Amino acid sequence: MLRRLFGDDVAENDAHLSEYFIETPAYRMALSGEKRFIIGRKGAGKSAICQQLQKQLPQTGALCIPVAPQNIQFTALKLGLRDMARQAPETDTLLQRVWYYGLLCETALALVKSLRRQHDSDFSQIAAFVEKHYNYAQPNAFDRLLHTTGLFLQQMEIGIGPLAVRRSGRLLDTLAVETELGQLRLPIARFIAKNLTQGVYILIDNLDEGWDNSAEANTFIRGLLLAIYEICQPNIPVRLIVFFRSDMYNAITREFQHVDKYRQFQEHIFWGRKEIVDLVAQRIRVNLKIKRPLSDLEVWETVFDERGSTEKIPHYIIDRSLLRPREVLQFCRHAAEKADLRGHPKVTWEDIFDAEHEYSSWKIGDLGSEFLSYFPGLKDGILQRFFGGSKRLAPAKLKELLEEALTDPRGGKHAWLENLRHVDDLMQILYDIGFLKARAQGKIWQSARDPDFNIMLAEEFTVHPAFHRYLRIGHRG
């Protein structure tokens, strides 16, 4: 069936990911250990990179430790952080020590499980520490981190909701904490240096599961950032790579006074048209078992029938994405489902136009849910105002439309709208999230490629084609 030729929309769930994984600059930077933060929009391929690293790193001789929280775990922790913020003035410092302690414990556990060196004095010390202090019965790494967090805080008589039961006003005893860490980090560093020439990689993914842009959630992640800077030192051969949604990373670091220390370790995921064409073609090659040499566009033509239009199907589909692989795969698969239902041997323009109706509805819904923590009511309060309107808008016309949204007395006004200083701020938001494109200096600008574009330079704005069908803007038929 045609729909099976594109694999799973969620790349990390695809059993054949390794066969058609595209080695992007972000992947290569992560593999080399040069970058610690891989940042990209939802659906840009962060988890796919993480999964591929888990397969590739051991082949280089490195030890790989994945850590991925689940929604319920993050929620349980977050509830207790409200108590801690009131009881411990040094919240950021405390959470830094918690992450540092927990991640070193995870490293110690992985070394004990993976490398048996009974006659090595460093190994014996690490194994004894794990046996005495670390709850390795928990099967999930983040569960172990939470358990360690609770024990760690109990030692200092500071309670965090469900993670500890004792409460006290006692402040952080930094000397006691450093003594505990000192018993673990030096033998770990020596043992890794002797036995793992490529070191240890800790991969942290899915941090957005349960994250809601609250003060508690952001404080918890800032503790991780501080711990990473401390762990990733030349004398400790442990590298951390954290996969961040771009909006999450921006929110966490917006008021983070140490953010300048981290810029050299950031790598942003950007996809161009050529790379996405290549990605889809590679999936088709693998699933159709194409062995003969064909260009990427020729591979597309084995599945898509372009008769009846002068427009190229790959460009049409990619133009209706925010340049994220998952969106393109969704569109291709859905169009292939339509073709299968009609008994078409290839996907036709009829199938593509039919699929676009539902796809466009998905995309505007996805946009609203992606930014729900920041902009509640975005879809109904703002985006729906473009319904039935013009595809192209002069800046003055766009401002007039958005001014009405800001001053409309109907319905409740969300705090984020009330806090906007000017309608230009709302225009910037719509550009940043990808709803609007801009034309300036003879070029079309969009945030997926040009996140730093100054919208005040725009000569004209365009509603992104992904949303045209749903909003009845310049649609066919």
Is the pLDDT at 166 greater than 50? The verdict is no
Please tell me the predicted confidence (pLDDT) of residue 151. Answer: 62
pLDDT tens digits, one per residue of 338-357: 999 999 999 999 999 999 99
- Is the CB of residue 363 less than 8 Å from the CB of residue 379? no
| Structure confidence at residue 132 (pLDDT) | 76
Residue 419 pLDDT more than 80?
Answer: yes
Number of domains in the chain: 3
What are the tens digits of pLDDT across the range 193-208?
A: 899 988 999 999 988 8
DSSP for residue 294: -
Whether 233 maps to a domain, the answer reads yes
Buried-exposed string 351-386: b where 16+ CB fall within 10 A, e elsewhere: bbbbbbebbbeebbebbbebbebebbbbbebbbeeb
For 393, list phi and psi in degrees, rounded to 5. -135, 125
Residue 453 pLDDT exceeds 70: yes
The answer to which of 362-371, 419-428, 468-477 has the lowest mean pLDDT is 468-477
Looking at residue 163, what is its pLDDT? 44
CA count, 13 A, side-chain hemisphere, 44: 26
Is 300 found in the same domain as 243?
no
Q: Return d(Cα 469, Cα 97) in angstroms, integer.
A: 51
- The residue with greater pLDDT, 92 or 65, is 65
> Is pLDDT larger for residue 232 or for residue 293?
293
Same domain, 208 and 97: yes
Residue among 83, 21, 24, 86 nearest 55 (CA): 21
Helix (H) or strand (E) holding 212: none
Flag whether 13 is in a domain: no
More confident residue, 316 or 100: 316
Asked whether the predicted pLDDT for residue 476 surpasses 50, the reply is no
Same domain, 198 and 125: yes
**Residue 172 has what pLDDT?**
44
Shared domain check, 256 and 209: yes
Question: What percent of the chain stands above pLDDT 90?
Answer: 49
* 477 within domain boundaries: no
Query: Are 335 and 424 within one domain?
Result: no
Domain membership of residue 9 (yes or no) is: no
Residue 169 confidence class, pLDDT cut points 50, 70, 90: very low
Q: Clarify whether residues 323 and 455 are in a common domain.
A: no
362 and 461 assigned to the same domain: no
Residues above pLDDT 70, as percent of the chain: 86
Domain that holds residue 282: 273-370
Q: What is the mean pLDDT of residues 350-379?
A: 93
Residue 199 backbone zone (phi > 0: left; psi -120 to 50: alpha; other: beta):
left
**Average pLDDT rounded to a whole number, residues 399-427:** 83
CA–CA separation, 430 vs 378, rounded Å?
A: 10
Beta-ladder partners of 347: 304
pLDDT at 278: 95
Residues 306 and 190 grouped into a single domain: no
Instruction: Give the C-alpha distances (Å, rounded to integers) separating 109 from 63, 106, 137, 145.
Output: 12, 5, 11, 12
Confirm whether 17 is domain-assigned: no
Report the candidate in 364, 335, 367, 377 with the shortest Cα–Cα distance to residue 472.
Answer: 364
Q: For position 197, what pLDDT does the model report?
A: 84
Residues 141 and 287 in one domain: no
Burial class (CB in 10 A: 0-12, 13-18, 19+), 300: buried
Minimum mean pLDDT among 81-90, 219-228, 248-257: which range?
81-90
For residues 36 and 251, give the distance between their C-alpha atoms in angstroms, rounded to a whole number.
18
pLDDT tens string 41-80: 999 999 999 999 999 999 999 999 998 876 655 665 655 5
pLDDT band at 317; cut points 50, 70, 90: very high
pLDDT given for residue 71 in this prediction: 60
Q: Which residue has the higher pLDDT, 373 or 147?
A: 373
The answer to which of 113-127, 296-310, 398-412 has the lowest mean pLDDT is 398-412
For residue 4, being part of any structural domain is answered with no
Residue 436 pLDDT > 80: yes
Among 268, 299, 323, give the residue marking a domain's end.
Answer: 268
Same domain for 391 and 352:
no
Residue 16 lies in a domain: no
* Cα–Cα distance for residue pair 53/203, rounded to 1 Å: 9
pLDDT at residue 203, rounded to an integer: 95
> pLDDT by residue (tens digit) across 132-149?
777 667 777 777 777 766
pLDDT category at 164 given cuts 50, 70, 90 is very low
pLDDT at 162: 43
pLDDT score, position 355: 97
Query: Is there a single domain that holds both residue 259 and residue 291?
Result: no
**Tens digit of each residue's pLDDT (9 = 90 or more) over 460-474:** 999 999 999 999 996
Q: Are residues 401 and 452 in the same domain?
A: yes
Signed CA dihedral, 162, 168, 173, 176: sign only:
negative
Token pair listed for 452: 């730093």
Domain boundary among 268, 291, 306: 268
pLDDT of residue 161: 43
| Residue 464 resides in a domain | yes
CA distance 391 to 405: 18
Residue at which a domain ends, from 213, 236, 268: 268
Contacts 24+ apart (CB under 8 A), 55-61: 55/18, 56/31, 57/31, 57/198, 57/201, 60/198, 61/196, 61/197, 61/198
